[in-house]
Amino acid sequence: MSSLPESGPLQAATSTAVLEARNVYRFRSVDKQQVPIVRDVSLRVDAGEFVSIMGPSGSGKSTLLHLLAGLEPPTSGDVFLQGERMGGADEERLALLRRSKIGFIFQFFHLLPDLTVFENITLPLRILGKNPKKHSDRVRATMDLLSIGALGDRKPVALSGGEMQRDSIARALAAEPPLLLCDEPTGNLSSKHGEEVIALLSKVRKQLGTAILLVTHNPRDAAAADRVLFLHDGAMRAETALTGGPFDVADVFRRLQALGI
Ligand SMILES: Nc1ncnc2c1ncn2[C@@H]1O[C@H](COP(=O)(O)OP(=O)(O)OP(=O)(O)O)[C@@H](O)[C@H]1O
Ligand SMILES: [Mg+2]
């Protein structure tokens, strides 16, 4: 395992940061020009923290999540996962970091249609070379937490959108990662199912201590977090701390309006 230097600019700020980005940029080639898609983003998510990211379509939210997940490298800047600098890891180490430390949840679920719910959920364990049977008690407990305990033998085609998303949350939690990265997890759901999914993410954070980074267009979803970060044209424009009280959604709305996004 690669380790951090004792001191110096690449040392993680504190041991409680599960994710940290420092001065991250990502350029892409558009019409033969190098265009900045993510610009000088620094952020930190502590263990067990719930943080939302809001921003208009095209502001770079998904690109940023990809960089944070080590799915593509930043053009410059550093990303640390539990203190380990991802830019310093070789491909094999990076794959292991991603699989063991990060759970992903997407707008379109990405469930494998030929596998049952239980097989989908335990797939990350198989990929990590673990025997799902040895972990089946914990997996069943996670399925119960997400109210899909009775659906294990079904195929995804026989599930509602909300059930599919709960299946994908259980899959994201299979390897017991300290961090969930969620890209618009309610974007393809009815508002009722979307609210259920956000309530379940809060429950997962509370009961399992999993840190959550949630990208969303929905201020109501964003307000379930401890903090909201606002991204505009690839740059962090502002941050709002929330209280968990009834005025949080209005606060998020006000902040969006004040920023013109
Ligand atoms: N592979 C690519 N090549 C060139 N430009 C890209 C590529 N992928 C994304 N972009 C551009 O980067 C910008 C940010 O895209 P990104 O998907 O990160 O935005 P987003 O905030 O997630 O948007 P949405 O809310 O619609 O999901 C957009 O202008 C997009 O067109
Ligand atoms: Mg996106």
Q: What is the pLDDT of residues 204-225, one digit of tens each?
A: 999 999 999 999 999 999 999 9
**Which amino acid would we find at residue 141?**
A
Whole-model pTM: value is 0.91
Q: How far is the CA of 75 from the centre of ligand 1 (A)?
A: 15
pLDDT digits (tens, 9 = 90+) for 106-124: 888 899 999 999 999 999 9
Ligand 1 and 34: CB distance under 6 A: no
Ligand 1 and 60: CB distance under 6 A: yes
Nearest residue (by CA) to ligand 1, atom 29, is 58
**Which residue among 34, 35, 62 has the greatest number of ligand 1 atoms within 8 angstroms of its CB, and so is best to mutate?**
62
- pLDDT of amino acid 250: 92
What architecture does CATH give domain 45-55+88-259?
3-Layer(aba) Sandwich (3.40)
